Structure 1
Amino acid sequence: MINALFVAHTAAPSGAELATSRLLSALRAVPTDSAVEPSMIYTEDGPMVDTMRSRGIPTSVLANTFDSRSVTINGSGWLRRLTGTAALIRVGWDLGATVRERGADVLVAGSTKALIMCAIAAKRARVPLIWHVHDRISAEYFGTALAFAIRTLGKMVTDGYIANSRSTEDSLRPRRQRGVVAYPGLDFQQTADTEHAPQRPAAESVIAVVGRLTQWKGQDVFLRALARTQVRPLRIYLVGGTFFGEEAFRTELEDLASELQLPVTFTGHIDDPTDILSMADILVHCSVIAEPFGQVVVEGLRAGCAVIATRPGGPAETIESGVHGLLVDAGDIDQLTDALDRLIADRDLRIRLADAGRSRARRFDIADSAHTVASFLSDVVTRRRTTAVEKHSV
């Protein structure tokens, strides 16, 4: 049995954190030949602490916590970056003592900030470190210099990586570095598929966008594209909360929806958007830069929505355009408007894409990802132990 300790710098219910909760739950069901006993530690308190505990995952909050929003490694100015990095290193030293107390066999860092903390912690606890990469390490996210620095750090301090898509893996430029791709899948064993409402006529259609309200997710692009469609839907749902100091963007979106006279309902964060997805005719994913994976795309496929998503990035690995959904170039308002027009007007196309999408979604079962991760972590720990024995015997 491998004791794997997962570390996150935030306990806000964002995509990476929710994906991790599903993965850890699935890891507990992996057969004994590669069994992993997962536990979770957050370096700040938040809603995900209770979520993890409700799933039966041993979860704790580091005693010396910090506000993740006040610590930045990709803000403006090198002085602020250095100050933020220094704060992460201090937390990492305390984390190392906790790792030893918990008897962890391997440490898994769930973000770039967590990677810096865990680099110190793993060294102090003398355990292997794996980087669970949820973000594309690219210039569009971090800037050219910082992306290079993060990739280099990852190669220097880790024993391998888990990437949430091939797109994310490519952004690491891993070469000979050991790693696996494990998609943030859905739980098909514990939760049954819900029945989807019949697709509606064009003028009665319902469209949903699900995701954190932040500029790179492109909700403003969606609203502008929708305002140009030939037939406007009856209802529009923008599902998602604001975290990490992004509250002002929701206000901008509310003002834009009012200006464009669009019937938008802002739901705020919803732990489980199944009810909305099961009644929405169309789900739109509209990130303006390459999405690392796009869990909501798979959720929309499984629910029975006709899906529009942006490329490049993870959605292009999920959807074959015209077969399981429609793909448009990220940030292209004209393409998004055309795709919306096409789906709103063509109910039969929506039905065909939704049927194919439900079958496609089953390729992203979290149980498969859990087996991949468990085997990889077991291999990493076994290699480390074998190396230690060989050094001791020399």
Structure 2
Amino acid sequence: MRVAYLSASGALGGAERVLLDVLASLRAAEPSWPLTLVSGEDGPLLERVRALGVEAHVLPFPRGLAALGDAGAGGTLRLLGGMAAAGPGAAAYVARLALLLRRARADVVHTNGFKMHLLGAWAASRATPVVWHLHDFVSTRRAMSGLLRRSAGRCAVAVAVSDAVAKDARTVLGPALRVETVHNAVDLRRFTPDGPTLALHRAAGMPPEPVGTVSVGLVATMGVWKGHAEFLRAVARVPREIPLRAYVVGGGIYRTQGSEVSVDGLRRLAAELGIADRVGFTGFVGDPAAAMRDLDVVVHASTQPEPFGLVIAEAMACGRAVIASAAGGAAEIISPGHDVLAVAPGDVNGLARAIRQLATDEMLRSTLARQGRETAVRRFDRARLASALSPLYRSLLNH
């Protein structure tokens, strides 16, 4: 079977790492299948995909299409205005993409990201099933959801990363759309307690932590809802007598306007809170597993319900104590008090209490780390991705 995957980004954010896991799982399970990736921009994703033996092409977005997004304030107006400005370029892009898909002789087109859901639906031939891989709640993208709803007739099946995302998609896109839940997975050979460690203090340009200091890090993209400001405010509420070093691990990776917070703005907030000496900013990290292994506690602080919460699964796989914002899909993959400490989204005081509790209780950190790794091994092995997707693809061709 020939499967063509479409990715809006060539970066290695959460959705792209999921796509990489899908490709690795299918390459191992179905070595004879020709797999192709088409990305709207070049980046590290392409290099990693080619290393798997997957053919990869860059079909660059025109400028207006590359910056098109509806996240953040004013998203609806910005998207609609951007669509109007990008119209001629978008039409030409769809034509080029359609030609590339014909040359690839794709039996199935699997799209990653809202932009590629639309472009793939428009570019794929009517005889080719299109699979939308939904990594986000469609209802949170008001303008995009309308476009997706009008294009849903071209989608054979949507793959949702959690039951929460699946329920949202059925509500917004209509009951006629087939939606299947396939939880994300983790490369358990890479995300493991043992392995290379990234010295975060060096990456952040800070001196080494004094002996006995507990390191706590928010590992996330710079998305506006990932809770960076809440994390800093929580750290500011941890008493100074508790030896603590906090890290913001991540940097800007996406080109869409209004979708990310700035590191400079977070640095200013840390200074205003009086914790500039307790917080390091590493910038983008290419190996999140190595970064997590340098932390005692990994924090997930999303202020909105999380579609899945990949960093939670990855941190558990790395055998680290985890604090998780328990809502949406994230609530489906954790057992509060057993493999994570759970807090409500946006609860700064609750997050501060959890950080303080783990910073002062080494035995609790150790217990959560061990039990989190056990959960990851039991639930997140990426071999199961092919077990779910291979029969799904076959079912589309048998209709």
TM-score by length of 2: 0.85
Q: CA deviation digits over 1:41-64, x for unaligned, max 9? A: 012223322222123221011267
1:216 aligned partner = 225
Instruction: Measure the CA separation in 1 of the matches of 2:375 and 2:193.
Output: 16
Instruction: Measure the CA separation in 2 of the matches of 1:285 and 1:372.
Output: 27
Q: CA deviation digits over 1:116-157, x for unaligned, max 9? A: 111111136x3111111111112xx323xx264145235322
Instruction: Measure the CA separation in 1 of the matches of 2:289 and 2:244.
Output: 20
Matched, 1:261 2:278: no
1:358 aligned partner = 373
Distance 1:369 1:136, change over 3 A: same
User: 1:1-394 alignment to 2 at 5 Å?
Assistant: 2-31=1-30, 36-62=33-59, 66=63, 68-72=65-69, 74-77=75-78, 78-84=80-86, 87-123=89-125, 126-138=127-139, 141-143=140-142, 146=143, 148-153=145-150, 155-173=152-170, 175-188=175-188, 190-191=189-190, 193-195=192-194, 204-230=213-239, 232-243=242-253, 244=255, 249-259=262-272, 260-262=274-276, 263-362=278-377, 363-383=379-399
Instruction: Measure the CA separation in 2 of the matches of 1:7 and 1:201.
Output: 46
Deviation at 1:232, TM superposition (A): 4.3
The one-letter code matched in structure 2 to 1:135 is D
* Secondary structure of the structure 2 residue equivalent to 1:208: strand
Distance 1:320 1:248, change over 3 A: closer
Instruction: Measure the CA separation in 2 of the matches of 1:252 and 1:63.
Output: 30
Moved more, 337-346 or 358-367: 337-346
Deviation at 1:371, TM superposition (A): 1.4
Does structure 1 conserve the Cα–Cα contact (< 8 Å) formed by 2:307 and 2:328?
yes
Distance 1:158 1:372, change over 3 A: same
Instruction: Measure the CA separation in 2 of the matches of 1:233 and 1:170.
Output: 43
Instruction: Measure the CA separation in 2 of the matches of 1:256 and 1:56.
Output: 44
Structure 2 unaligned segments of length 5 or more: list them: 198-208
Does structure 2 conserve the Cα–Cα contact (< 8 Å) formed by 1:282 and 1:307?
yes
Deviation at 1:347, TM superposition (A): 1.6
The one-letter code matched in structure 2 to 1:382 is N
Distance 1:370 1:224, change over 3 A: same
Instruction: Measure the CA separation in 2 of the matches of 1:349 and 1:13.
Output: 32
Distance 1:83 1:341, change over 3 A: same
Instruction: Measure the CA separation in 2 of the matches of 1:267 and 1:24.
Output: 29
Instruction: Measure the CA separation in 1 of the matches of 2:56 and 2:62.
Output: 14
Deviation at 1:180, TM superposition (A): 2.1
Instruction: Measure the CA separation in 2 of the matches of 1:359 and 1:147.
Output: 38
CA RMSD of aligned residues (A): 2.6
* Secondary structure of the structure 2 residue equivalent to 1:193: coil
TM-score by length of 1: 0.86
Distance 1:380 1:7, change over 3 A: same
Instruction: Measure the CA separation in 2 of the matches of 1:69 and 1:233.
Output: 44
Deviation at 1:351, TM superposition (A): 1.4
Distance 1:84 1:205, change over 3 A: same
2:206 aligned partner = none
The one-letter code matched in structure 1 to 2:16 is E
Instruction: Measure the CA separation in 2 of the matches of 1:250 and 1:346.
Output: 31
Does structure 1 conserve the Cα–Cα contact (< 8 Å) formed by 2:40 and 2:59?
yes
Instruction: Measure the CA separation in 2 of the matches of 1:113 and 1:229.
Output: 41
Does structure 2 conserve the Cα–Cα contact (< 8 Å) formed by 1:119 and 1:158?
yes
Does structure 2 conserve the Cα–Cα contact (< 8 Å) formed by 1:133 and 1:168?
yes
The one-letter code matched in structure 2 to 1:12 is A
